[in-house]
Amino acid sequence: MSLGRHLFSAAACCGLLVSSLLSSNAAEDVSAAKADAPATAASTDVQPTVVERYQNEDVTEIPDFQKHVSPLFGRLGCNGRSCHGSFQGRGDFRLSLFGYDFDADHKALLDEKRPRVNVEKPLESLIIAKPTDEEMHEGGQRYAKGSWEYHLFRRWVEGGAKFDTKQVQKLTALEITPSEILFSQSGEQVQLKAIAVWADGSREDVTPLCRFQSNSDQVAKITELGLVTATDPGDTHVVVFYDSAVIPVPVIRPVSPKYGDNYPQVATNTKVDELVIQKLRKLGVVPSDLASDADFLRRVSLDLTGTLPTAGEVEAFLADSSADKREKKINELLETPAYAAWWTTKLCDLTGNNDTKLNNVGVPGMNPAQEWYDWLYKRVAENESYDKIVEGIVLAKSRKEGQTYTEYCEEMSKYYHPDSGLKIAERDEMPYYWSRNNIRQPEEKAIGFAYTFLGIRIQCAQCHKHPFDQWSKNDFDAFKSFFTRVTYAQQGARDAREETAAIMKSLGFPEGRVNNNDARKIYSEALKEKKTIPFSEVSITPPQRRKPRPGEEAVMVSARVLGGEDLDLDKLTDTREPLMHWLRSKENPYFAKAFVNRVWANYFNVGIVQPPDDLSLANPPSNKPLLDYLAQGFIEHNFDMKWLHREILSSRTYQLSWQTNETNAKDERNFARAVPRRLPAEVAYDALITATASDTKAASMLTELKGRATAIPGASARSNNNPAGFALQVFGRSIRESNCDCDRSMESSLLQTVYLQNDTSVLAAIEGARDSWIEQLSKTSKKLTDGSEVKAEEASKELARMKVRLDRAKKADDEKQVERIEERIAELKKLLPAKEGDKSDAAPLVLKPEEVVRQVYLRTVSRPPTDEEMKRCLQFIADSPSQIEGVKGLLWTLVNTKEFIVNR
């Protein structure tokens, strides 16, 4: 079986696409391996490779099962997904996937019913006889008789096929040389060397026992023995797997002659710029020029606040000649409610605020999705540190310390009493994260938690060793133990049953089962009367440790953070406290990086690690020093989100133009240019509203959140009742169901084009609906003395409304309504100019046509028109039935351009 098939099978086993996994991310494995160790090839204390030691038939050394036999099975593909590593095994023989359960594999090899090893007659052992015979072995010949592989397996069997679980050693490091490969031409080759360092201090060259993978064959290919060959220019990583270690090695081949000493002088205004240029210099990629002021303003407004700048904002910014105006604009936007709303929406995506998943939470008048949103919004607006926000979610429980269930219900009921003025957002904690009906089991909680706060995918480790990371099933089981005592009860925890019954009795609940509708009526009336009703609660159950029998040792109920030490859960009141302590510790390799990487992805189309929620070891960052710098800075600035935004946005790297040069046209992962990308769903909808709104309404978008898509709390079919609901569905807003970043779609589609061109709400806004710019423009038109223009103006506006109503009536198949509306449309048309070219009765615009064209461009694509565009637009207006109709057509056209719907 080839290495490619082997990797494909592993990815299929985890339910993930190979392309997704092979472009994954690397969080450092502090405990198991390192890639930047000094070369040790010449060290005399390094044991030679097994190729050298087992080349001859008369070899006497007995190989080690953990160090040699099991890894060789892996390198040959025997324990891969499509072979004996699959769940059902192959040929009545099953190995653990990639061979990380040494004990189980050893027992399988020596199984009494169907042994693969014959200690009495070693050469008749199936692990020797079958793989050397192409016809006998379904998987074909895996190695030849007389080869070093043959001798290794033979000597292990001859030595008794031994394995002692008590002698399993820990791999403390896997040193790879070279630690970085710089190619200069196609066909150039470099041999990797892997030195295993064990806990007892021994060192061995294990290169022939490693598995190797290239994350992009287009840039570098690698053989099963670690020989790397340059192919096309670019950069990637080759990854080395051995035992618990997964080590990525950067591979770079310059894309132009402008690399190293030939690299041109480029400004590096910030540390971010220095680290980006450091990588680009090796690649020979020259960054684009700075973006124009117009492009910068549009980009930073949409990225940071989810809000399209108004025409007035664009004009004011372009007229400002101060040298620090970009920095001022960043700081100005950071203080707006729109910033808080957009990043609250992003945190709602991250933490899974979904109406449907919260339908098991609530009482009449309660909207848990809105309360969750408001709780986050308050803290983002106040710039509370990210770790404090996470603490309020991770450690959340319903009752306060020492509070009885009845006291808790009394407190909660007051929030929903008439005119109480109390807000859930004022509470210190937000327990709804643990209340969702899609994370009821500890396994679901562990997987969701890892996605959300660590940016890693550990679901594969539920069943077997993760194929592209260090996590084993034991690691997963130890991690999920943190969540076993986190419970959610719809009417109080176990210790509150009597109090719950007393509250319900006081409300007059009849004995026996009461249906939900009747219960809701009783609760609703009780709250109106300012009574207390029962509430659901998140709680932590106390440890339930079984007392050991006489002579029996006590068994510790333990948990372990990923890569950490075992903790005794019975000594903890809240099992999540050490988890939160680990999250915010400086040594945590994931927490800060996961958030920093997601923020970077918001600004650059891709993360430094891509996908942003896959910080696996085999998916290293495209620029490790850059990610390390930002993560460390984020920690040192006490997880200040505004510091992080400023640090990124103030860089020259963020402010680069989208226009390319001959070296960076294909770059999308090293940040040498801005990558135009479709606006996120909420931002696209709000941009459409801003572009077509009156000047007054558009100016309020930064401060007024009512009606904005970024202020919609939940994410489910329920929120589609909102006028924006259909548009958000079309543009792929996050469904917030799995905590995976893939819950949001950024793909373009034909339906999005149809929506922008034909949706009734879009057409109404362009035709002159209430509070629209077209309505505003129409009102400023000069009135003719005979009043004919006034009639035409009113008829035109009513005609626009009638067309919308006609479309709805046709969709509803209401023939009578269609007939009445068509009659009214015919009457209105009589009030308009009779001939298409007759503009004698049309109202001339107060503003000059040139100024109107400029305003349309400023309010849609945030820049003035070019001379050629101005000429064509003026001609279009002149050829229209009236000037106002021409402006409508121009506004519709620009809203439907690619330039409008992408951020460049």
DSSP labels, 237-250: EEEEEETTEEEEEE
Average pLDDT of 785-793? 51
Q: Is the pLDDT of residue 202 over 60?
A: yes
Predicted local distance difference test score (pLDDT) of residue 545: 62
* H-helix segments, 605-738: 624-636, 641-649, 681-692, 695-699, 725-730
pLDDT tier at 24, thresholds 50, 70, 90: very low
Mean pLDDT for 695-723 is 83
Helices vs. strands in the chain: H and E counts, helices first? 35, 17
Cis amide linkage into residue 309, ω under 30° from 0: no
Which range has the worst mean pLDDT, 271-275, 362-366, 466-470, 713-717? 466-470
Helices (H), 95-147: 102-109, 126-129
* Per-residue pLDDT at 1 exceeds 60: no
State percent of the chain over pLDDT 90: 57
Which one, of 195, 234, 217, lies nearest residue 35 by Cα?
A: 195
Long-range contacts of 776-779 (CB under 8 A, 24+ apart): 776/694, 776/695, 777/845, 777/847, 777/852, 777/884, 777/887, 778/843, 778/884
- Could you tell me which residue, 814 or 697, shows the higher pLDDT? 697
* CA angle at 91 for the pair 86 and 97, rounded to the nearest 5°: 20
What is residue 239's predicted lDDT score, i.e. its pLDDT? 95
Helix (H) or strand (E) run with residue 207 in it: none
- pLDDT at residue 20 in the model: 28
pLDDT band at 570 (very low <50, low <70, confident <90, very high): confident
- CA-nearest of 260, 259, 257, 210 to 238 is 210
pLDDT band of residue 428 (cuts 50, 70, 90) is: very high
What confidence score (pLDDT) does residue 602 get? 96
Give the Cα-Cα-Cα angle 570, 571, 575 (nearest 5 degrees): 75
Cα 352 from Cα 372, distance rounded (Å):
10
- DSSP code of 32? T
Residue 467: what pLDDT? 67
Instruction: Tell me which residue of 303, 294, 534, 493 sits closest to 411, measured CA to CA.
Output: 534
Q: For the residues 551-579, what does the mean pLDDT come to?
A: 80
Q: How far apart are CA 96 and CA 10, in angstroms?
A: 12
Taking CA atoms, 205 is separated from 31, 48, 50, 58, 197, in Å, by 20, 6, 8, 21, 9
- Looking at residue 99, its pLDDT comes to 55
Amino acid occupying residue 603: Y
Please tell me the predicted confidence (pLDDT) of residue 841: 45
Residue 181 β-bridge partners: 251
* pLDDT confidence band for 32 (50 / 70 / 90): very low
